[in-house]
Amino acid sequence: MMRWIALVVAVGAAGWPCVAGEVVELWPKERRAEAPDKPERKDVVQTKAGRGITKVTDVSNPTIELFPPAKAQGPAPAVVICPGGGYSILAWDLEGTEIAEWLNSLGAAGVLLKYRVPRQRDEAFQDAQRAVSVVRSRAKQWNIDPKAIGILGFSAGGHLAARTSTNFGKRSYEPVDEAEKAPCRPDFSVLIYPAYLTTSGDAALDTATLPVDANTPPTFLAIACNDRFTPGAVLYFQALRKAKVRSELHVFQFGGHGCGLRPTADNVTTWPEHCERWLRGLKVLPEKPAAAPRLSAKAPTGYTAATNASTHSKGTTR
């Protein structure tokens, strides 16, 4: 896939047209770190599914990068992407640029958030709230549907996405410009192996940080049964169901943690197929054309109790 040359511009009240690959500094100049203690670092330090993982850390000046779909029929849905990395690093390609490319293939825009790390959870939360508002405030300019702006996060990024989805009534910072007039509530959430959703010892859902209620956006969750970081996903789903929020949870038998969407023998890596179907069900994405009938006397093969290794549930529609 073609690599884009990234240009960095500041977000201003007047706004600039955004092009593919353009990187936008999230905060006005007066809110940026003038002299970071450590320069931002990017390293390829390990592999996943036979490919390297690019990790970014020491982020002091957060940005968003727009990946628009190649051929959008009218305003496109958009998804703010929050890579994981334990709030220490960002898995930049595994849970960032590769996800944007997948969203593009579905006809959606990916907005990759480079939030502040390491160990800056509250600052990262400010970055996520700000990112949703900036995208919505520039929806017309970027050919985005302002009523179809979601958030997607992995691991720590899943926690960040959940926090953004449950704390939109009040900003965690003082407004800085006109962008804050646009709501920071995502229209839908996708949480893939989200971490840190529980209180100490996994005793209960961390409701102080994640106050789920009836206004929480529709949510898709996917985890692996053998992932020790994600017991809170089940509790989060139960809270969504109790609040009558449209939601869906997939628990796959195998997969562990940190797969992104790179296919492996582990069935957790089939989550994108289920997520795409869920997004089409929400009408965020257009419905796929009906498949042609099979010309066979045999029963069609598909996902059954025997062949589908995932377990999924649905909440009610609010």
pLDDT at 193 over 80: yes
Q: What is the pLDDT of residues 40-54, one digit of tens each?
A: 999 987 788 788 999
Between 139-148, 242-251, 293-302, the lowest mean confidence (pLDDT) is in 293-302
Q: What is the pLDDT of residues 78-124, one digit of tens each?
A: 999 999 999 999 999 999 999 999 999 999 999 999 999 999 999 99
Displacement of CA 246 from its chain's centroid (Å): 17
Separation CA 155–CA 257 (nearest Å): 8
Residue, of 88 and 292, whose pLDDT is higher: 88
pLDDT at 304 over 70: no
pLDDT of residue 36: 86
pTM for this model (two decimals) = 0.86
Under the banding of pLDDT at 50, 70 and 90, the label for residue 288 is confident
Residue, of 77 and 10, whose pLDDT is higher: 77
pLDDT at 14 over 60: no
C-beta atoms surrounding 117 within 10 Å: 25
Question: What percent of the chain is modeled with pLDDT above 90?
Answer: 75
Separation CA 150–CA 128 (nearest Å): 11
Residue, of 289 and 226, whose pLDDT is higher: 226
User: Which tokens sit at 236?
Assistant: 């989060």
For 191, the enclosing helix (H) or strand (E) is strand 189-192
Residues found in the chain: 318
C-beta atoms surrounding 39 within 10 Å: 8
Which of 94, 237, 235, 243 lies closest to 155, judged by CA?
94
C-beta atoms surrounding 258 within 10 Å: 20
Q: Which residues pair with 51 in a beta bridge?
A: 48
pLDDT of residue 19: 54
Under the banding of pLDDT at 50, 70 and 90, the label for residue 3 is very low
User: Which tokens sit at 193?
Assistant: 């192996």
Residue, of 124 and 312, whose pLDDT is higher: 124
Non-local CB neighbours of 26 within 8 Å, separated by 6+ positions: 11, 61, 62, 63, 64, 113, 127, 130, 131, 134
Distances from the Cα of 104 to the Cαs of 72, 78, 219, 252, 301, in angstroms?
A: 9, 9, 20, 26, 29
Do 76 and 70 contact (CB within 8 A), yes or no? no
Q: What is the pLDDT of residues 129-165, one digit of tens each?
A: 999 999 999 999 999 999 999 999 999 999 999 999 9
Separation CA 2–CA 250 (nearest Å): 33
> Residue 91 in 3-state DSSP?
strand
Non-local CB neighbours of 258 within 8 Å, separated by 6+ positions: 48, 84, 91, 94, 95, 154, 155, 193
Which of 97, 157, 101 lies closest to 127, judged by CA?
157
pLDDT of residue 60: 96
Mutual angle of helices 156-166 and 121-137, in 10-degree steps = 60
Question: What percent of the chain is modeled with pLDDT above 70?
Answer: 84
Q: Give, rounded to a whole angstrom, the gap between the first and last alpha carbons of the chain.
A: 40
> Residue 55 in 3-state DSSP?
strand
pLDDT of residue 248: 98
pLDDT of residue 283: 95
Work out the mean pLDDT of the chain and round it to a whole number. 86
Stretch 13-41: mean pLDDT, rounded? 77
For 99, the enclosing helix (H) or strand (E) is helix 98-105
pLDDT of residue 20: 62
The domains found in the chain, sorted by start residue, are: 39-286+310-314 (3.40.50.1820)
